[in-house]
Amino acid sequence: MSGIFTNGQTLVVTTTGPGKLNLLSYQSNGGIGNVVGSISTSKTGETRFLISHSYTYERFAFYWDGAGEAVYGIGASLLRQPVGKSWSNASLASWGSPTITTADVSVQVKTAVNRDNQITAFIIPDLI
């Protein structure tokens, strides 16, 4: 299996209810500082988020801050797994890895610059 961020693959987080998806991009291969931010949804139903990447970073940690369920899926796989619920128990996508792991990234968040609504995560429109 190829890495998560390769041609034809995608990382989608599906949530239920209002809340926000938080994303930390860290471990820059170009000496750039960590970036953290969130994207909110007020929908009572399902929202799908696409988590993209930046070639500058090698680690992408994310968690769901909402009352409803949040799961992620990779590419065409039917497997869905729960998303982390805090920075100390975040879901982690590492560059080149085909799987998501769990990690405590609270130390990396402390040095990150906030970029709410400017991170590499996007809400997928309902019609797609």
Question: What kind and span of H or E run contains 107?
Answer: helix 106-110
What is the total residue count of the chain?
A: 128
- List the domain boundaries for the chain: 11-124
pLDDT tens, position by position, 33-63: 999 999 999 999 999 999 988 888 999 999 9
In the chain, the amino acid numbered 92 is L
**pLDDT category, 1, cuts 50, 70, 90?**
low
Average the pLDDT over 68-82 and give the result: 93
Place of tokens 């890895």: 97
Q: Look at residue 106 and give its three-state secondary structure.
A: helix
pTM for the full predicted model: 0.92
- For 98, half-sphere exposure in the C-beta direction (CA atoms, 13 angstrom radius) is 5
